[in-house]
Chains A and B, each alone.
Chain A
Amino acid sequence: MSEIAIYVKNLNKSYNGIKAVDNLDFHVNKQECFGFLGPNGAGKTTTMKILYGKSLKDHNQDTVINIFGLNPETDSLRIKAFSGVIPQQDNLDSDLNVTDNLLVYSRFYGIPKKEAKKRIDELLHFMELQEKAKMKIRELSGGMQRRLTIARALINKPKLLILDEPSTGLDPQVRHLIWNKLRELKESGVTILITTHYMEEAFNLCDRIIIMDKGKKMIEGNPRDLLSSNMEKFVIEIYGACKNQNGCTDYFEKNKIKYEFHNETLFAFSDNIDSLSRFGETLNGFDYHVRHSNLEDVFLRVTGRSLNEYQ
């Protein structure tokens, strides 16, 4: 059905004896959006960097990395020629204006000036920056700089886009704009790799994700499937009220409802919303919140706290 764009098997990377990536396996299909999730230090960025040759993997005979048929250790230039990389930190040239930034970058791909200018016009339109063409980088807001960094990575019409936390620290409007643009790119045939802390982002964009922790893959799959197969449908969060009170836990244990404490908040999970709300109603309205479970709950369950399980 779908062709494989990226195939990685048994990837390892250590820094000074500490394993940043530990026996990682994954593959990405062509035209797919593939997400890496995980807490800071999980090895997401390192994995991405290895894919385009910015980091070197550990030497290990069993490791296989195949990026559209190429190996980043020997063919990183060829890989980068068809890729667009958006690093975690913007690194635009702050002394140059918007157009010049893109023009300088187009030369790295050997794009002739005339063609580059045309392309820059298109890209500024695409990222809704056409009004800013002559502005200096330091006059741009954080969101504009991020959009420009994305535009810059698109200068060579890449077939593979590598984004490291593209929307961290941005306001909701800009985030949604970026998501729309990424969806458009995917529609047009681009394969997208993305790391993110925003569960919502992964849920919105990714066909498949892996959640990593301490360099290892914890869980892999479609975000919706992961949610339905790993989590109950609903969650009640109870703030403070259950701290020194056994009444809460008694109720959950009696009704065989999974619950856990995190700091002073109690989380209880159930497919039956009534059983949660019924308990909530016994509390003061500001002390609790019943909601649909989301990817963040999956994330915390696989990477974070151990669960107090009855049954």
Chain B
Amino acid sequence: MNINNEYKVPSLFQRIFSVWSRHDRVYNSNFFSNAFPSFFEPVIFLIGIGIGLGKMIPKVGGVDYILFLATGLIVTSSMFSASYECTFGTFIRLEFDHVYDGMLGAPISTYNVIIGEIFFAGTKGVLFTFGVLAVTWISGIIRYPLSILSIAIGFISGIMFAAMAMYITSFVRSINHLNFYFTGLLSPMFFFSGIVFPIETLPKTLRYISEIIPLTHVVRLARAFCVPGLLNAWLILDFIYCIGFIALFGWLAVKRMKKRMIV
């Protein structure tokens, strides 16, 4: 075995992409069992609540309730899949499977590992947003052609929730503690972000809280692309919120996770 005299560190893009493609490969090896819950949960919710409850509810914000609910649920699948990926998934890779130890033996930095992983969660966000969107297209709930652009919002929300999940996971010492995150933070967020009912109906204080939480902003953006006449210049504020959120939590996640990986 002759020794290679040229040892090059791959480019930043190659490094991040190699982490991404590792996750892609592993994920696809069990695609159906992996994809099933993230895809079916919103669809079942849509059928159960949308069709059942929808009959009893008049129009919401000028549109049919089922359309209102469907446009909210598009990004929910992205939120949950990214959150699972970067809480339980990350924790298992970190503490049980030692996947990062393997990567960090190769010319990959902690930064590359974390960014690659967050991008992978964003990609899953795209996949599930598309999945749910396809169901709403086929069933005729969403008919607006611009709705295709909400896939991009699925990507953004995947990245946002991945970055936040990773930051949270960096504090977690026992995997059971992650349940607090899901039950204590994500589930309430789901109900106060304008998915099931418009936040305009909330009391004033709760409305402010609702504007602080990230899900509200991606739901508003996704809905604007799916319902004719909702696009307006104010949405730029939601967009700025998302970018700021990604920058803040991405930075925090990198900073904290690095301490977890390099001791």
Contacts and interface: CB of A to CB of B under 8 A. Distances in A.
Contacts of A184: 1
Interface string A42-86: 000000000011111000000000000000000011101111111
B104 A94 contact: no
Contacts of B15: 108, 110
B200 interface: no
9 contacts: A54-B101, A54-B262, A55-B263, A77-B108, A94-B97, A108-B22, A110-B15, A157-B3, A159-B4
A158 B19 CA distance: 21
A80 B102 contact: no
A100 B101 CA distance: 18
Most buried by B among A55, A83, A108, A122: A108
A190 interface: yes
Nearest to B27: A95
Contacts of B98: 87, 89, 91
B89 interface: no
B8 A157 contact: no
Nearest to A95: B29
A92 B101 CA distance: 10
Contacts of B4: 82, 156-157, 159
A53 B262 contact: yes
B188 interface: no
B30 interface: yes
Contacts of B107: 77-78, 80-81, 108-109
B233 interface: no
B109 A91 contact: no
Contacts of B108: 77, 80, 108
Interface of A: 15, 52-56, 76-78, 80-87, 89, 91-96, 100, 104-105, 107-110, 122, 126, 152-154, 156-159, 184-185, 188-190
Interface of B: 1-4, 7-11, 14-15, 17-19, 21-22, 25-26, 29-30, 97-99, 101-109, 262-263
A59 to B, nearest CB: 14
Contacts, number: 113
Nearest to A152: B102
Given A95-B30, A108-B15, A77 B103 contact: no
Contacts of A156: 4, 7, 106
A91 B101 contact: yes
Contacts of B26: 93, 95-96, 104
Contacts of A154: 1
A71 to B, nearest CB: 15
B105 A153 contact: yes
Given A54-B104, A108-B108, A153-B105, A91 B1 contact: no
Nearest to B22: A104
Contact of B106 (A94, A95, A109, A126): A109
A248 to B, nearest CB: 49
A91 B29 CA distance: 17
Nearest to A92: B102
A157 B103 contact: no
Contacts of A100: 25
Contacts of A55: 262-263
B232 to A, nearest CB: 44
Given A87-B98, A107-B21, A77 B109 contact: yes
A91 B97 contact: yes
Nearest to A153: B105
